[in-house]
Amino acid sequence: MKSFLPTRFIVERDPTRCIQCNVCVTQCSFKVHYFDEDDHTVKAHEDNCVGCHRCVVFCPTNALTIRRNPLEYRTNANWRPEVIEDILKQAESGGMLLTGMGDDKNHTIYWDHLLLNASQVTNPSIDPLREPMELSTYLGRKPDRLTFDEAGILTTTLAPQVKLETPIMFAAMSYGAVSLNVQLSLARAATELGTLWNTGEGGLHPSLARYGPNTTVQVASGRYGVNPEYLRSARIIEIKIGQGAKPGIGGHLPGEKVTDEVSKTRMIPIGTDALSPAPHHDIYSIEDLRQLIYAIKEVTNYEKPVSVKIAAVHNVAAIASGMVRAGADIIVVDGLRGATGAAPKAIRDSVGIPLELALASVDTRLREEGIRNQASVVASGGLRCSGDVAKAIALGADAVYIGTAALIALGCHVCQQCYTGKCNWGICTSDPVLTKRINPEIGAQRVINLVRGWSLEIMDMLGGMGVNAIESLRGNRLHLRGVGLSDTELEILGVRMAGR
Ligand code: SF4
Ligand code: SF4
């Protein structure tokens, strides 16, 4: 069938710069560039280009430019180019449209409408270069009050706590969805930074077992790789109920990504599709969730916090309250812009709510019910910079997960082709050639640099606000003001309008 889809990207090769070195040919897994034997020049199949920029970055003579095809459609607010092209794709494929990464639609990004405070005359600011600033955070259930005996010895039994040196952790990305070298980069970075990385739902590869003290392991509906040893090897165990990129549906790792090593780690046959059901087949109520939480606590001798991750949906605050009462020590709220290796485009772009609103609602509800101390809250889903992190903490998070930002540090250019398994940057792929493009040593250093940079910036922001500990910012919405938001939005965020 003749495709009616226009070419999305124009590949321009400057003939005065190109030295016919073929680097672009070997770098592109989508087979855009090819060497024409007839006239001995490198040419392009532009239709194949996904805009991942690998060839542009690696061309030794800067001969390449990738541009969006400036093809003009008639202006139509309803039938926009993307809408037309999606219909054309489905008319040709007859299937669901798949995509990778997070929601790219023009929903309000509330972080950009929230501004942080800074001290001026009274309550002077603190200079982080001269005074100690505390970024460490403890995750886990806190007691309502502490009791001491006559000798001043603490008598309250504390639930297990996990100390993070910075409130930034790495989000769940499973082996199979990302390469082992990506996980190794994140595990090394987490260990060096004093924070945690997360296995996602694909099990723990034996080579990563030594990073256990800095590892969160996931228990998802597919139960891939889950056994007592897996649970005991981790610092935190996370039950994944939902994720922001695809609330309400399960996961699907295509069989071609289930290589020998992935199959062993997931404990499934090679080449079979890894289908995670939408629900856990043993959880249909908060009581069922409680049973799983306590089964995990039993297996791990009540020594490890149990976290529960949900997607941000309409009744997220009530769900979070139920989870805390069911015994969750940490709750993770994953917003609309959370990323994934593969999701139906219709779900990714139309289901769920923004993290900012969900986070504020959860924090408010838990405070109103007097149970905020009983669980830590982790915010996740599209956090882009240190400012987003500081604002998330001011809205009520104890810590955050970053996923896409960490992958961008590793080279990802957000081309959204993760579901194809052909990631040119060696990130979302099991291809043995492509996965070598991530050097775990260099990868870890790039991620460490990113988180160090953000942590320094957060310290600067804290100092500017006149506080010397991240704990003093948590849920302190007086440090936030809103711009360009309606009264209802400000009310849900619990933030005053700028100028008030
Ligand atoms: S990588 Fe650059 S110089 Fe080499 S063939 Fe491609 S366009 Fe030409
Ligand atoms: S991980 Fe790879 S395929 Fe996915 S968006 Fe990033 S560069 Fe593209």
Question: Over the chain, what is the mean pLDDT?
Answer: 95
Worst-scoring range by mean pLDDT, 189-203, 221-235, 259-273? Answer: 259-273
494 and 480 Cβ atoms separated by less than 8 Å: no
CA of 63, nearest ligand number: 1
61 in the same domain as 190 = no
Q: Where are the beta strands (DSSP E) in 413-491?
A: 480-482
- Gap between the Cα atoms of 132 and 124, Å rounded: 15
Number of domains in the chain: 2
For residue 392, is it within any domain?
Answer: yes
Please give the pLDDT value at position 420: 93
Which tens digits make up the pLDDT trace of 2-13?
Answer: 889 999 999 999
Q: How far is the CA of 25 from the centre of ligand 1 (A)?
A: 8
Report the pLDDT averaged over residues 235-249.
96
Conformation bin of residue 14: beta by default, left when phi > 0, alpha when psi is -120 to 50: beta
For residue 111, is it within any domain?
Answer: no
Is residue 63 in contact with ligand 1, taking CB distance under 6 Å? yes
For residue 104, is it within any domain?
Answer: no
Which tokens hold the place of 8? 């999305």
Picking from 70, 86, 101, the residue at the C-terminal end of a domain is: 70
For residue 324, is it within any domain?
Answer: yes
Is residue 254's pLDDT more than 90? no
Q: Atom 7 in ligand 2: which residue has the minimum CA distance?
A: 412
Question: CA 453 → CA 169, 343, 432, 448, distances in Å?
Answer: 14, 31, 32, 8
Is residue 64 in contact with ligand 1, taking CB distance under 6 Å? yes
Report the pLDDT averaged over residues 420-435.
95
For residue 355, is it within any domain?
Answer: yes
- What CATH number does residue 66 fall under? 3.30.70.20
Which tens digits make up the pLDDT trace of 24-48?
Answer: 999 999 999 999 999 999 999 999 9
168 and 400 Cβ atoms separated by less than 8 Å: yes
Print the domain residue range for 48.
9-70
304 in the same domain as 452 = yes
Q: Any idea what the Cα angle at residue 488 is, between residues 485 and 491, rounded to 5°? A: 95
Picking from 70, 101, 118, the residue at the C-terminal end of a domain is: 70
Write the burial class of residue 498 (CB in 10 Å: 0-12 exposed, 13-18 middle, 19+ buried): middle
Q: Label residue 257 by pLDDT band (50, 70, 90).
A: confident
47 in the same domain as 142 = no
Q: Label residue 275 by pLDDT band (50, 70, 90).
A: confident
199 and 218 Cβ atoms separated by less than 8 Å: yes
Provide the sign of the torsion angle of the four alpha carbons 119, 120, 126, 128, taken in this order. Answer: positive
419 in the same domain as 335 = yes
51 in the same domain as 200 = no
Is residue 152's pLDDT more than 90? yes
For residue 447, is it within any domain?
Answer: yes
Q: Label residue 121 by pLDDT band (50, 70, 90).
A: confident
65 in the same domain as 161 = no
154 in the same domain as 64 = no
Is residue 26 in contact with ligand 1, taking CB distance under 6 Å? no
Report the pLDDT averaged over residues 164-174.
98
Is residue 134's pLDDT more than 90? yes
Q: How far is the CA of 38 from the centre of ligand 1 (A)?
A: 17
- What CATH number does residue 228 fall under? 3.20.20.70
353 in the same domain as 457 = yes
Report the pLDDT averaged over residues 154-170.
96
For residue 331, is it within any domain?
Answer: yes
For residue 62, is it within any domain?
Answer: yes
Q: How far is the CA of 27 from the centre of ligand 2 (A)?
A: 14
Picking from 70, 87, 105, the residue at the C-terminal end of a domain is: 70
185 in the same domain as 37 = no
Please give the pLDDT value at position 200: 96
